[in-house]
Structure 1
Amino acid sequence: MRRLLLIALGLVLVGTLAAGQDTPLRYNSYGAPGLIDMPIASSAPDAELAFSASTFAGQTRATLTFQVTPRLSTSLRYAALQDVQAAGGAFYDQILDRSLALQYRLVDEGRLRPALAIGVSDFVGTGIYAGEYLVASKSLPGDLAATMGLGWGRFAGVGGFDNPLGASFADRPMRDFGVGGAPSLDTLFRGDAAIFGGLRWAPDPRFDLVVEYSSDAYIYQDGVAFTRRSPWNVGLTYAPRPDLRLSAYYLYGSEIGTQLSYVINPRAPPFGTGFGAPVMPTVPAADLSAALAAEGMALSSLQMEGERAYVAVANTRFAPSAQAIGRTMRVLDRELPPSVRIVHISLVENGLVGPAVVLDRARWQDSVFAGDGGAAFARSIRFAPPVAGVPVPPTSRFSWNVAPYLTPNLFDPDDPLRADFGLAFDGRWALRRDVILAGTLRQKLAGNLDAATRMSDSELPHVRSDFALYDREGDADIADLTLAWYGQPGPDLTTRLSFGLLEPMFAGVSAELLWRPPGQHWAMGVEVNQLIQRDYDGAFGLLDYEVSSGHASLYWEDAGGYAAQLDLGRYLAGDWGGTLTLSRRFANGWKLGVFATLTDVPFETFGEGSFDKGVVLNVPLSWISGQPRRDALARTIRPVTRDGGARVHVEGRLYELSRPQTARVIDDTWGMFWR
């Protein structure tokens, strides 16, 4: 009867001639696009970021899902499972599991055809949730949407039949889910297959009702954590706001489950384009430096030759580079003599001068009141080599800031969520424009990082795994204190030399050279470091461990914001290898990415996790607050912190430092030129 129902559902799915209304995407209990436990073929809006938390029968799942491209989504999941029975008979009171899932939409939904997607779950985790699937979804009349899929692994626990891919895929190797971390490519789409499916009814964007046939047998929990009496699940979701969804489920004939999902999109700031600072009046100011400073621009150099003016400014306020250029142009237009017709504006970072934006003053004045939003003016701009103006004495050499900080420590097996909260004092003194003394002092106010008792069992030098010792020693720490010198031997070459307490765990010297050809999608760099490990107390003490490290790096970024970085070299534990980082950047400053590092350290020696990997997240605070500012909340999330593949953290690395100056970034943010 179940198979007949699913076959009938499939016939309706592929044979319908009309589609119902579009409804908001549903995230399942695993935090991925889906029904309740089962996936669907639909995708979230491009760049949507979803945070989901669900719980039932002693297991809690927290998931971060990102729609990487319009077709590809990825989910990073952390789960706490109570009462688990392994296939070999071992019993676990609790397992803390980390897993990664991917889904790619192969076919878009059409008038007659369903959307079709392929997905894999937990292929680099422990294997508890490992499974693969092909799934089709179709909108139906009456505000309905139907889904039917073919699953393997976890998705083939009920009603399984011989693998339709053939005899070579008939057997699925067993996995020891107590280890995890290494890719399990030998299990993909192997073993028996089974059918799953469901219906969703959404008469209103705020409500939906789901009925699901689940092919998941819950073999590790059935009879231990709960009793699975039925493959049928039902669920109800209520969305009090477009970004918030609350769900309740009745699962497997015996359990009640709940879920919360919160969605945001980096491309849709909560405050639109922001509140911003008011655009300046057109009355002249008495001093050019003061007028620029009022707009958040520090005048670095100025030179006028005939009908041209060459101006370099340091942007201290606006995240979009084009907005800084636009504000600068407004000041220059009212302050420069009428004889100046062409203006060259370069942005400066730590004494490094970026390419000049060349603006025609008359065209700019015409565009201020043009009805085309400045489109004609935008087509007239061009880029030139960095300006070489006469240096202007700085109005201020010293700056400081006091702000709260939060340092989370995730995925500790003893306590998966630890954090410290306190105040951070950041100071910066420009001895010269290209010589910067900077440091950060942190005072802890509250937190439980010092409660960690787990000691490192690493066979490698303890370059990161002794993090608990650093967390326990002292409430006031010097996070970093460095003297950095930046150079520009050529328009395409930049250099950096940093000395001091580079980060909380290492001190030393770091030297870097970056080659960024203008107008290219790529750049190349090299960095060498001589390092010594800092003492645990966060002061000036040092330990005995010394290491030489360094990397050659290749950077690539396309016009759509997709970027890749490859680093090859020597890491903190003396191991040799490479790191590949894939990310997506947005014009407003958001960045989301993943990275993986493979070195000559064997998986067994590396320990839990097998190799270093994680997620990179950068959220501009201007996006959150709506106020103009350049700082951001930056986090690197690792499922486990070990010593292999560890790299020193150095503030002011050249690629990220100089990126806002590039023609590509200014072009990408040009819509903010008039703000």
Structure 2
Amino acid sequence: MVKRTRAAHRDAAQWFGLSVVVAGSLAVLHGQAAMAQNASGTHYGFYGNPGLLDMPTAEVAPDGQLSLSHNRFGPMRRSTLTFQITPKLSGSFSYTGTDDLTDEFDIYWDRTFDLSYQIVDEGALRPAIAVGLRDFIGTGLLSSEYIVATKSIGARLKVTGGLGWGRLASENSLGLSFGERDETVVETGGTLNSGQWFRGPVGTFGGLNYALTDKLTLLAEYSSDAYVAETERGILDHASPYNVGLSYAIHPNISMTMAYMYGDTFGFGISGHLNPNNPAYAGGIETAPLPVKQRPSRSADALGWSGAWIEDGRDAPGIRKALAGAMAKEGLTLEAMSLTATRAEIEFRNTRYPAHAQALGRLSRIASRAFPPSVETFVFTEVVQGMPVQSTVIPRRAIEQLEFEPAGEMLAVTQFVDPRALPSDPMVRAEGAYPDFNWSVSPYLSATLFDPDSPIRADLGLRGNLSYEVAPGLSLTSTASLKLTGNVDDLEPHSDDDALPPVRSNAAQYSNQFQLNSLAANWYAHPAENVFTRVSVGYLERMFGGVAGEVLWKKPENAYAIGAEVAYVQQRDYDDPFGFQDYDVVTGHVSGYMDFGNGFHGQLDVGRYLAEDWGATLTLDREFNNGWRVGAYATLTDVPFEDFGEGSFDKGIRISMPVDWFIGTPTAETRDLNLNSLSRDGGARLDLSGRLYDRVRDAGQAEVEDRWGRFWR
């Protein structure tokens, strides 16, 4: 259990409330098609997932929908993030605070995870049926399980009934019991409480919602939650099991709910929805590409078709210069080129297009205009961090013939090859390609969530990034931060009686006004077919410096890959940006990657962590072919739960949002959100940017094919 002050509660409520407003505002500004509550939509209850008020329903949201809600009634407030993982499976993460639940704490804050699965969808006569778990890996305070059915009657009425266990059996018990239920509350949370599932007494609940208009819905329910602990504490008067409310759809993506709960108090909720499947600008609003240039007839350009132009004064330097200029206008950089009478090979960098197929399409159009008629084969090799990652072989005749045909026809005649397996003529480096210097300055917001003394702490400032590519594969990179304001440094260092070295729990001590986050030399290479390597030396991240090496094996056509990383690092000084402390460690992992298809991707890392603990991290992501990623991870090591501290083990939720999805024009930028436990020492991994797998995979065959529909854009 963790103490929370009333001031801390206000900070958390304001932050989560702001998050809901921001999510809803984005939806309004960009006209998302995700549905909030309406005559045919899914209502979100006070638990932040499909439900009436306190009771669940068997409904599901549209596949992929993200929902953020904030709800409050009586002494309780709850903020919830819900994701429709598959068409039938949804998951939720909630942060719930209750006033005066114990003598020791002003506000008791609790993190919970919920799952719901619709085992039967609704038919003409049958209801939809779902099974769910609430707080299945938390402290157990809110733990319950249920089986629920929902049926539509006409266009406006939906009726729900269900059976509940745990909290959902504390009222309206049937007098039945399925074994003994252990009601122990785990103070540190994070423990899978499977021994409780569907055990103990069984309660009944039910309700209905009726669409009075297309925007206004009446909600009524018979609750099976008696709020025993809250009633015993006198913070809630459970006078009745009946709850009634009204839900109003402010916008198709934002709904508000008002309710009278348990004959005692009023409740209020607001939910905002966003669906990655529905971009703000369908198809994008970027400028149109150049048209494909058809080759002249042989009689009109006999020299060009013969190939004699190579010896006739029209040399490659002139073509190379014109090609580089045209590519630069499209956000592509020419690295090198080789040219014969029938074949042109182009090494390029893609700095603009998150859909690499679109970069290939734009380059194909440019190439059709840049080379004489005898050049029949184009080989486009994408270079990432100085490494040639993948070669795409496209017949020029196909570009000319298929410009106005479905993109799939072009894919059928396109080949993807590892550059090391492809015969190549000597490449001529483009003028000015190296050295290459890039820099940027942008605002940053660094937040620490779920702190025992304040649910959120944050630093706001400016962050600068420098990159100097000396030669292909060799670069110098640096990141520095200037904090303008914030309170992360007020966070007290976590201590568990020195059970583990303080490798992450001392994060606040690195929250200086000026921070040299990283300063490193990096060498990337593609030394053999399907093999990629990287070595980094320097200040690798804001807490550790040293040397790290990585190797990756990945075939372009395979759904799986294998990698390994090892590093020797030393802990950096708190105040001196170039100094070190006494603690050093050898850390490293063997990693397996798997694309399961249907938008799911997994990663397993096994090895030694920064606190010298051994274990594994499992990550599972739902990926959308427009660049969105929503996933979760969990790390289990040989550190006992009691030594790890609150949360028992490291776990979290991560969301990656492509900026082009919001603005409609191509950009490789993303915005990332990570929700995880407080910084703990167990399961802590080196925070290296630019790891090989993401760099190689994004430009690889599978990713290119997934977004091939943008080839002609």
TM-score (norm 2): 0.87
| Larger deviation, residues 543-552 vs 603-612 | 603-612
- Give the 3-state SS of the residue equivalent to 1:413 in structure 2: coil
**Matching of residues 481-492 of structure 1 within 5 Å:** 481-492=519-530
Given candidates 628, 638, 641, the residue that maps to 1:600 is: 638
Return the match for 1:649 from 668, 676, 687: 687
Mapped contact 1:101–1:122 kept (Cα < 8 A):
yes
| Structure 1 Cα separation of the partners of residues 558 and 392 of structure 2 | 17
CA offset at residue 613 of structure 1?
0.8
Please list, as runs of the form range in 1=range in 2, the aligned pairs for 1:262-277 lying within 5 A after superposition. 262-277=272-287
Tell me if the contact between 1:277 and 1:628 (Cα under 8 Å) persists in the aligned partners: no
Q: Secondary structure at the match of 1:504?
A: coil
Kept in 2, the 8 Å contact 1:456–1:466? The answer is no
Superposition deviation, residue 512 in structure 1: 0.4
Residue 282 of structure 1: how far off its partner (Å): 6.7
Secondary structure of residue in 1 paired with 2:462 = strand
Tell me if the contact between 1:98 and 1:639 (Cα under 8 Å) persists in the aligned partners. no
Residue 206 of structure 1: how far off its partner (Å): 2.1
Greater shift, 545-554 or 634-643, is seen at 634-643
Alignment of 1:465 onto 2:465: no
> Are the aligned partners of 2:599 and 2:622 in contact in 1 as well (CA < 8 Å)?
yes
Measured in 2, the distance between the counterparts of 1:606 and 1:285 equals 59
Give how far 1:227 is off. 0.8
Q: In the alignment, what sits opposite 1:380?
A: 413
Amino acid at match of 2:674: T
1:140-171 residue CA offsets vs partner (Å, 9 max, x unmatched) = 1151111111110011110113446xxxx321
CA contact (8 A) 1:24 1:205 kept: no
Q: Which residue of 2 aligns with 1:659?
A: 697
Question: What secondary structure sits across from 1:221 in the alignment?
Answer: helix
Q: Which amino acid aligns with 2:120?
A: V
CA contact (8 A) 1:352 1:487 kept: yes
- Cα distance in 2 between the residues matched to 1:315 and 1:142: 50
Is residue 238 from structure 1 mapped to residue 248 from structure 2 by the alignment?
yes
Work out the percentage of aligned pairs sharing the same amino acid: 41
Distance 1:366 1:538, change over 3 A: farther
The residue that corresponds to 1:185 in the other structure is 194
Does the alignment pair 1:430 with 2:469? yes
Indicate how the Cα distance of structure 1 residues 257 and 391 shifts in structure 2: closer, same or farther if over 3 A, else same: farther
RMSD of the alignment, in Å?
Answer: 1.9
Select the residue among 586, 595, 600 that pairs with 1:557: 595
Q: Whole-Å Cα distance in 1 between the matches of residues 173 and 397 of structure 2? A: 74
Corresponding residue of 2:126: 113
Whole-angstrom distance in 1 between the partners of 2:105 and 2:285: 53
In 2, the alpha carbon distance for the partners of 1:52 and 1:391 equals: 57
Could you give the per-residue CA deviations for residues 336-387 of structure 1, whole angstroms, max 9, x where no partner exists? 111112212121111222222222222222222x3x4444323322322326
- The amino acid of 2:687's aligned partner reads H
Residue 583 (structure 2) aligned to one of 545, 556, 575: 545
- Render the CA deviation track for 1:47-106: whole Å, top value 9, x for unaligned: 100011111112211111111111111101111111215xxxx66421111111111111
- The one of 334, 358, 363 equivalent to 1:299 is 334
1-side partners of 2:98 and 2:446: how far apart? 26
SS in 2 for 1:656: helix
User: How far, CA to CA, are the matches of 1:391 and 1:643 in structure 2?
Assistant: 50
Equivalent residue, structure 2, for 1:412:
451
Matching residue of 1:136: 149
Evaluate the alpha carbon distance shift between residue 184 and residue 374 of structure 1 in structure 2; reply closer, same or farther with a 3 A threshold.
closer
Q: Which residue of 1 aligns with 2:670?
A: 632
Q: 1:35 to 1:589 in 2, by over 3 A?
A: same
CA contact (8 A) 1:38 1:197 kept: yes
Q: CA deviation at 1:633?
A: 1.5
Mapped pair 1:23 → 2:44 = no
Q: Deviations over 1:281-339 (max 9, x none)?
A: 67999611121111111112212244222222110011111111111111111111111
Amino acid at match of 2:570: I
Structure 1 residue 177, shift from structure 2 partner = 4.3
Tell me the equivalent position of 2:26. Answer: none
- Where in structure 2 are the equivalents of 1:267-666 lying within 5 Å? 267-280=277-290, 287-368=322-403, 370=404, 372-386=405-419, 388=424, 390-393=427-430, 394-395=432-433, 397-453=436-492, 455-457=494-496, 459-471=499-511, 474-537=512-575, 539-666=577-704
Match of 1:62 in 2: 79
Check conservation: 2:68, 2:79, Cα contact below 8 A: yes
> How many residues are matched?
643
Gap change, CA 1:666 and 1:209, over 3 Å in 2: same
Q: CA offsets, 1:496-535, max 9 Å, x none? A: 0011111111111110000012311100001001011112
Q: What is the deviation of 1:119?
A: 0.7
Shift in Å, 1:22: 5.9
Match of 2:67 in 1: 50
Structure 1 residues 129 and 300, CA gap change in structure 2 (3 angstroms): same
Matched, 1:148 2:161: yes
Distance 1:277 1:60 in 2: 47
1:10 maps to none
Paired AA for residue 437 in structure 2: F
One-letter amino acid of the counterpart of residue 661, structure 1: A
What's the counterpart of residue 214 of structure 1?
223
The one-letter code of the counterpart of 2:538 is G
Counterparts of 1:242 and 1:538, CA distance in 2:
52
TM-superposed deviation, 1:422? 1.3
Match of 1:100 among 113, 122, 128: 113
State how far apart, in whole Å, the 1-side matches of 2:708 and 2:82 are. Answer: 29
CA contact (8 A) 1:514 1:526 kept: yes
**CA shift at 1:130, angstroms?**
0.4
Question: Is this contact kept in 1: 2:407–2:708, CA < 8 A?
Answer: no
Correspondence for 2:24:
none
More displaced, 382-391 or 571-580?
Answer: 382-391
The unaligned stretches of length 5 or more in structure 2 are: 1-37, 294-318
5 Å-filtered alignment, 1:191-206, equals 191-206=200-215
Take 2:557 and 2:159, find their aligned partners in 1: how far apart are those partners?
48
Matched AA of 1:101:
D
Give the 3 Å change call, closer, same or farther, for CA 104–269 of structure 1 in structure 2. same
Name the CA shift for 1:37/1:286 in 2 (closer, same or farther; >3 Å).
same
Partner of 2:136: 123
Counterpart among 73, 79, 91 of residue 90 in structure 2: 73
Distance 1:549 1:226 in 2: 51
